[in-house]
């Protein structure tokens, strides 16, 4: 549904995105992740036909965003980052205007607008001036204008920013309900949101795509081993040897020495092999005090942190805490 | 071309904010003042001339009331038209709504025409308010409807040009005040550009004279419909609208 190939955008001498390529299948919800200034909004603006790219091509719903921009625009709903709305208009007339501009036929318009207001939970403010609405309501009006024409593709730039926790849950529910019939690409800072909503993820950093794919596969790819973090009080060498001796353990790395004589270790074992029980038994046997024992490296958040941190340390040429270069190279 | 929804929206925005009402009120108040003073003067001079039959022959309302009234009103428009157009693109750019508007399935041209027509409607409303003066005149005396009609046509053409220039200025900036000032400067320049005609070498003088609005709008009020003047306004209006379209496109590329 969305195919992006070698997309590049330059603002004068500044390159906002470079050689960005990814694809989104119909009915998928894809999360677009990246730190601030990574090029998320630029990519989305190009996809929404707001501005042309400097190089490369992008197709949305089978049409080229530059050459067949009108066809693309008929099939998308776009919510820009700062949710720009006509603050001097009232909610219902505003949505009616958007529906008319987007070509919803006159006979269906009234019903569509009413449906969308129900769906986005804004029916109670439909006669209010947008200027007087709270941030949460504005956000939902923005989302309503994106879906009012029932577009095949939704491009949502940070749709849940600035909402309170309850509203976030509601909006997420709404977005989730759009999956299947709509293809959604959404950008966000909130990583758990991606895990909750999205089937796939595209991670962008400093204008380049560093990783993409289904979330589980990414996690596996970036963390081929299962990791357990251990904090234990005990003789350092004995602990290292003891843990290494456990079957399935690939590597043990000491990460820090705490003041009270405790040591922190990261234990890597073959994926699918949980060594926590054995570590506990070992500590109990040796009468070491086990302060902490937890699995790490299993979430998208950690993948993200690792990629972004890796990229940054690579950029500053500082000694990397993680094998950063290797990680980025491994990205498809 | 989806001009209609854009037009409706812009018109709604004109009349939901106080700006349109303030402009209308100011314009009609000053117009009323001009009409009253010019007409009173006309009444007094025609009384004096009635006492001297040799002098009073050429005095009529077209020349003595409507022409000076139209002349004065065009000067007020010089000040007010920048305020009518300053919002149109600048405000969309400042608030970011242009990002949504330009990703809806409407061509830039349709957006431009919709906005332009809404400004033209606003302007026509202002001008329509002044129709009460000829109506009042018609109550007391014989009004020449031909020159009156051409006078209003001239008004519309001049307004169309001024609004197009204002629209162009508004597309250049996100600051409404800057847009208004650029428009005012451009309109004033267009007004006074003929003044240097006598000072520059011969062939260029004619160019400056021809460029001046003053040179073209007075003929309409006299009741003369000269294609040269019509073409002047239509041409420059088209040029300003074309430049606006280009400016919108350029903004897209700049991002």
Mean pLDDT by 10 residues, chain B (255 residues): 89 88 94 93 83 68 84 90 94 92 92 96 94 88 86 92 96 94 94 84 82 83 86 94 93 73
Whether the CB-CB separation of A329 and A250 falls below 8 Å is answered with: no
Mutate to test the interface with B, among A46, A101, A155 (most CBs of B within 10 A): A101
Look at the block and give the residue holding tokens 């409303």. B125
Look at the block and give the residue holding tokens 């990002």. B99
A332 pLDDT band (50/70/90 cuts)?
very low
Q: Quick check: A73 and B5 CB within 8 A?
A: no
Distance CA(A230)–CA(A241), nearest Å, equals 14
Whether the CB-CB separation of B75 and A60 falls below 8 Å is answered with: no
Burial class (CB within 10 angstroms; exposed 0-12, middle 13-18, buried 19+) of A190? middle
pLDDT at A218 over 80: no
Out of A61-65, A151-155, A196-200, B33-37, pick the least confident.
A196-200
- Which residue blocks in chain A are alpha helix, DSSP H? 40-47, 69-74, 91-101, 106-119, 135-147, 165-178, 191-197, 215-222, 236-244, 276-286, 300-316, 324-330
Residue B62: predicted pLDDT: 79
Distance CA(A263)–CA(A224), nearest Å, equals 24
Residue A330: predicted pLDDT: 37
Mean pLDDT value of segment A311-327: 45
In this structure, what is the dihedral angle of CA atoms B93, B99, B102, B103, given to the nearest 10 degrees? 180
Distance from B104 to chain A by nearest Cα, in Å? 6
pLDDT at A328 over 50: no
Mean pLDDT value of segment A22-51: 88
Nearest C-alpha neighbor of A264 from the set A241, A301, A238, A290: A290
3 state DSSP class of A3:
strand
The shortest CB-CB distance from A78 to any of B16, B95, B100 is to B100
Out of A81-90, A214-223, B206-215, pick the least confident.
A214-223
Whether the CB-CB separation of A201 and A215 falls below 8 Å is answered with: yes
Distance from A85 to chain B by nearest Cα, in Å? 6
Residue A325: predicted pLDDT: 36
Beta strands across the sheet bearing A289-296: A249-257, A262-270, A225-233, A289-296
Mean pLDDT value of segment A222-246: 81
Q: Quick check: B6 and A86 CB within 8 A?
A: no
Paired residues of A23 in beta bridges: A3
Q: Quick check: B105 and A74 CB within 8 A?
A: yes
Highest mean pLDDT among A232-246, A250-264, A312-326, B8-22: B8-22
Mean pLDDT value of segment A226-248: 82
Kindly tell me the sign of the dihedral angle through the C-alpha atoms of B95, B101, B107, B110.
Answer: negative
Distance from A49 to chain B by nearest Cα, in Å? 6
Q: Residue B218, Cα to own-chain centre: how many angstroms?
A: 13
pLDDT at A327 over 70: no
Percentage of chain A with pLDDT > 90? 24
Nearest C-alpha neighbor of B9 from the set B88, B79, B70: B88
Query: Chain A residues contacting B, CB < 8 Å?
Result: 9, 11, 42, 45, 48-52, 70, 73-74, 76, 78, 80, 82, 84-89, 93, 97-98, 100-103, 145
pLDDT at A159 over 80: yes
H or E element in which residue A153 lies: strand A153-157
Whether the CB-CB separation of B197 and B179 falls below 8 Å is answered with: no
Mean pLDDT value of segment A191-207: 84
The shortest CB-CB distance from A50 to any of B4, B9, B99 is to B99
**Token pair belonging to B62:** 């077209």
Whether the CB-CB separation of B141 and B61 falls below 8 Å is answered with: yes
pLDDT at A318 over 60: no
Highest mean pLDDT among A177-191, A216-230, B81-95, B200-214: B81-95
pLDDT at A314 over 80: no
Identify which has the larger pLDDT, B223 or A138.
A138
Whether the CB-CB separation of A204 and A17 falls below 8 Å is answered with: yes
Residue B24: predicted pLDDT: 94
Paired residues of A227 in beta bridges: A268, A296
Nearest C-alpha neighbor of B230 from the set B161, B167, B168, B165: B161
Taking the complete model, does pTM exceed 0.90, yes or no? no
Paired residues of A267 in beta bridges: A228, A252
Residue A259: predicted pLDDT: 63
Distance CA(A45)–CA(A73), nearest Å, equals 12
Mean pLDDT value of segment A199-218: 83
Distance CA(A248)–CA(A270), nearest Å, equals 6
pLDDT at A240 over 70: yes
User: How many cross-chain Cβ pairs, A to B, lie less than 8 Å apart?
Assistant: 69
Residue B200: predicted pLDDT: 82
Residue A102: predicted pLDDT: 92
Out of A151-155, A226-230, A323-327, B148-152, pick the least confident.
A323-327
Mean pLDDT value of segment A169-174: 84
Arithmetic mean of pLDDT over chain A:
83
Chain B residues with CB-CB distance to A51 below 8 A: 252-253, 255
A307 pLDDT band (50/70/90 cuts)?
confident
Percentage of chain A with pLDDT > 70? 90
Distance CA(B237)–CA(B164), nearest Å, equals 6
Whether the CB-CB separation of B209 and B218 falls below 8 Å is answered with: no
Distance from A317 to chain B by nearest Cα, in Å? 32
Q: Quick check: A86 and B96 CB within 8 A?
A: no
DSSP-derived secondary structure letter, B65? I
Distance CA(A245)–CA(B109), nearest Å, equals 74
């Amino acid at each position: 549904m969305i195919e992006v190939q070698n997309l590049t955008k330059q603002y004068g001498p500044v390159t906002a995105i470079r050689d960005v390529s990814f694809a989104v299948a119909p009915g998928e919800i894809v999360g677009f992740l990246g730190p601030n200034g990574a090029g998320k909004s630029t990519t989305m603006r190009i996809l929404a036909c707001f501005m042309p790219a400097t190089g490369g091509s992008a197709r949305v719903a089978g049409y080229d965003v530059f050459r067949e921009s009108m066809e693309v625009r008929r099939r998308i709903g776009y919510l820009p980052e700062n949710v720009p709305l006509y603050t001097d208009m009232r909610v219902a007339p505003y949505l009616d205007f958007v529906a008319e501009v987007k070509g919803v036929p006159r006979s269906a318009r009234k019903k569509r607008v009413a449906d969308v207001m129900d769906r986005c939970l804004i029916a109670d403010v439909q006669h209010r001036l947008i200027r007087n609405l709270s941030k949460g309501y504005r956000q939902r009006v923005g989302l309503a204008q994106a879906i009012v024409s029932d577009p095949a593709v939704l491009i949502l730039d940070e749709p849940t920013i600035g909402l309170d926790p309850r509203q976030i849950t509601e909006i997420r529910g709404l977005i989730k309900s759009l999956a299947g019939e709509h293809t959604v690409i959404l950008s966000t800072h909130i990583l758990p949101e991606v895990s909750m909503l999205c089937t796939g993820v595209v991670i962008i950093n400093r204008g380049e795509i560093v990783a993409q794919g289904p979330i589980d596969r990414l996690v596996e790819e970036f963390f081929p081993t299962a990791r357990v973090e251990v904090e234990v009080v005990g003789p350092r060498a004995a602990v290292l040897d003891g843990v290494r001796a456990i079957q399935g353990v690939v590597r043990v790395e000491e990460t820090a020495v705490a003041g009270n004589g405790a040591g922190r270790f990261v234990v890597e074992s073959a994926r699918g092999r949980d060594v926590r029980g054995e570590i506990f038994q070992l500590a109990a046997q040796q009468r070491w005090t086990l302060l902490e024992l937890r699995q790490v490296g299993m979430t998208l958040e950690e993948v993200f942190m690792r990629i972004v941190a890796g990229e940054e340390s690579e950029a500053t040429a500082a000694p990397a805490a993680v094998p950063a270069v290797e990680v980025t190279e491994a990205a498809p | 071309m989806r001009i209609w929804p854009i037009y409706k929206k812009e018109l709604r925005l004109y009349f939901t904010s106080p700006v349109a009402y303030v402009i209308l009120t100011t314009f009609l108040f000053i117009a009323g003042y001009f009409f009253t003073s010019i007409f009173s003067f006309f009444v007094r001079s025609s009384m004096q001339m009635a006492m001297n039959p040799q002098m009073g022959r050429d005095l009529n309302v077209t020349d003595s009331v409507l022409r000076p009234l139209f002349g004065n009103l065009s000067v007020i428009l010089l000040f007010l038209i920048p305020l009518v157009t300053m919002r149109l693109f600048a405000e969309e750019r400042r608030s970011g709504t242009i990002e949504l508007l330009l990703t809806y399935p409407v061509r830039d041209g349709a957006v431009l025409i919709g906005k332009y027509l809404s400004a033209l409607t606003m302007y026509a409303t202002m001008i329509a308010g002044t129709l009460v003066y000829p109506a009042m005149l018609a109550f007391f005396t014989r009004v020449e409807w031909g020159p009156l009609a051409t006078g209003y046509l001239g008004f519309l053409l001049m307004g169309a040009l001024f609004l197009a220039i204002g629209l162009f200025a508004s597309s250049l900036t996100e600051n409404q005040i800057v847009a208004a000032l650029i428009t005012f400067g451009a309109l004033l320049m267009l007004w006074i550009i003929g003044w240097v005609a006598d000072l520059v070498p011969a062939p260029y003088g004619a160019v400056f004279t021809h460029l001046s609005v003053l040179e073209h709008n007075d003929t309409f009020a006299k009741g003369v419909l000269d294609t040269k003047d019509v073409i002047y306004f239509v041409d420059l209006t088209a040029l300003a609208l074309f430049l606006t379209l280009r400016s919108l496109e350029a903004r897209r590329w700049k991002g």
